Amino acid sequence: MNKVSKLLLLALKVYAFTWLLICLWFLVRAFTENLTISESYKQLIELLTYKQFVIFFHVLFLIIYFIVLIIYHFRNVYRNKNFKTMFKQVLFRFLSPILLLYFGINYLIDNNANDQYKYSWNTSYENTSKKATNHFKKDSKFRGMSVFGWHRSNDNDIDELVKNNIEWVAVIPFFYQKDEQTKLISTKKDLGVWTHRDSSFINTIEDLHNKGVHVMLKPHLWMSSGWRSDIDLESTREWDEWFNTYRNVMLHYATMAEATSTDLLCIGTELKTSIKQQPEQWKQLIKDIRAIYSGKLTYAANWYDEFEHVSFWDELDYIGIQAYFPLTNHKNPSLSEIELGWKAHKEVLKAFSKTHNKPILFTEIGYRSDAATTIKPWEWNSLGNLIINQRSTKAQQLAYEALFNSFWNESWFAGCFLWQWDTRINKQRSSESFDFSPKHKPAQNIMAKWYGNHNSLDE
């Protein structure tokens, strides 16, 4: 067998091994994410039609193949020469560049993560009763949080939310379509027939209600590539086909919301092109949902070029906005600078609420814990951001304070759902993270203060 044939055979073996790893991973998911084995592998089969997943798989294959080739190369060096020669080549040609790159990147990240800010925690803001205080009943303000990482038993996690005066939780199921040109949503739902995953959400809602916490059910459309706000279909027929599948999913979750006495249902999130293309279909969907579900309704419109175009606000109970407004153009702003950044946005929102005679609810708002968080609040962290940006829990804290100072005492402002809280993150991980979560950071205590009604009117 010649050299080329050997390399091809090795590639086939590595290719098969890579598939085995993927299959094993989805088997593990079945036991760790409240899925049946059948559901997990159905998701794998569905992923095979997604370009992004196929690219990911082949990149993984090439990485593993490259590693195997390196191992084979150094094995041959050892056989044809000696151990000393092999060791030198491994050290200087392979390990040294990798270690230099690895430690260089880690040095930059660790240096940027060195947050020297000292905050004096005030435990008097916290609720130690293990039962939600239900200030909402008095002032109709949503003291909300988007929460992820639910388990079979959620009591301890909910106690931690309640301790920080969170009275509302957004429970967020995801459903899927491939990309912006996909004509049909992949996830199919049968009304009133619960999957294993549905049952986990129902269990979570019941656990929250048992602790006196209100729930907003907020299904999110997720795409493997592109953004749901930019769905781009070619004809009215294709748009109608897409909306029929969307309607099926939303009626499924409306049925779940009614069955669980969920307090608020969000009928969509950031679907700008559909909002503009299909106003009548959305109005009919609202009627269909109202026939099933007796609770309150909202829609989560993006802050940029969407909430102004929604034609059905009058049919809903709240104007929902994903409120990632840019507030400053520089890093490490002061509290007064952030509040000044809110001024123009606030006037627009106040007038908009008055026009529709509806309260405005921030269905999402949040800030990363880095120095640039108020410049483009909607951006997620990336490796590049970790390398060039400075961790700053103070900037996140000030952004929270500016939000509450600017809006909380406005009668037209219904409150907010902060983004986001992951029950799986411990204090050690939080001390190093640049992400949106306020958990174990000063912003958590600011949230507890305002959600607990220790606001500026009391000081």
First to last CA, the chain: 84
Q: Which two tokens stand for residue 437?
A: 């979560």
33, pLDDT greater than 80: no
459 pLDDT tier (thresholds 50, 70, 90): very low
**Of the spans 37-51, 66-80, 356-370, 429-443, which averages the highest pLDDT?**
356-370
Portion of the chain with pLDDT greater than 70, in percent:
95
> Regarding the domain with residue range 123-458, which homologous superfamily does it belong to in the CATH classification?
Glycosidases (3.20.20.80)
Name the least confident of 79-93, 211-225, 273-287, 310-324. 79-93
387 pLDDT tier (thresholds 50, 70, 90): low
109 pLDDT tier (thresholds 50, 70, 90): low
Span 140-150, pLDDT tens digits: 999 999 999 88
- What's this model's pTM, rounded to 2 decimal places? 0.80
Give the span between the Cα atoms of 288 and 191, in whole angstroms.
Answer: 13
Mean pLDDT on 375-394: 80
Span 162-171, pLDDT tens digits: 999 999 999 9
17, pLDDT greater than 70: yes
Span 117-136, pLDDT tens digits: 889 999 999 998 888 888 99
Q: How far is CA 364 from CA 92, 169, 245, 332, in A?
A: 50, 11, 25, 23
Average per-residue pLDDT for the chain = 90
Fill in the amino acid letter for 256. Answer: M
The pLDDT of residue 112: 66
104, pLDDT greater than 90: no
Q: How far is CA 196 from CA 30, 36, 152, 158, 259, in A?
A: 11, 7, 12, 22, 16
DSSP letter at 211?
T
Name the least confident of 56-60, 237-241, 279-283, 337-341. 56-60
Do 407 and 349 touch, CB atoms closer than 8 A? no
65, pLDDT greater than 80: yes
The pLDDT of residue 454: 64
DSSP letter at 299?
E
456 pLDDT tier (thresholds 50, 70, 90): very low
Which sequence spans correspond to the domains of the chain?
Answer: 3-112, 123-458
115 pLDDT tier (thresholds 50, 70, 90): confident
**Of the spans 49-63, 297-311, 432-446, which averages the highest pLDDT?**
297-311
Phi-psi region of 25 (alpha: psi -120 to 50; beta: other; left: phi over 0): alpha
266, pLDDT greater than 90: yes
Burial of 208 (0-12, 13-18, 19+ CB in 10 A): buried
Q: How far is CA 23 from CA 12, 43, 452, in A?
A: 17, 11, 47
457, pLDDT greater than 70: no
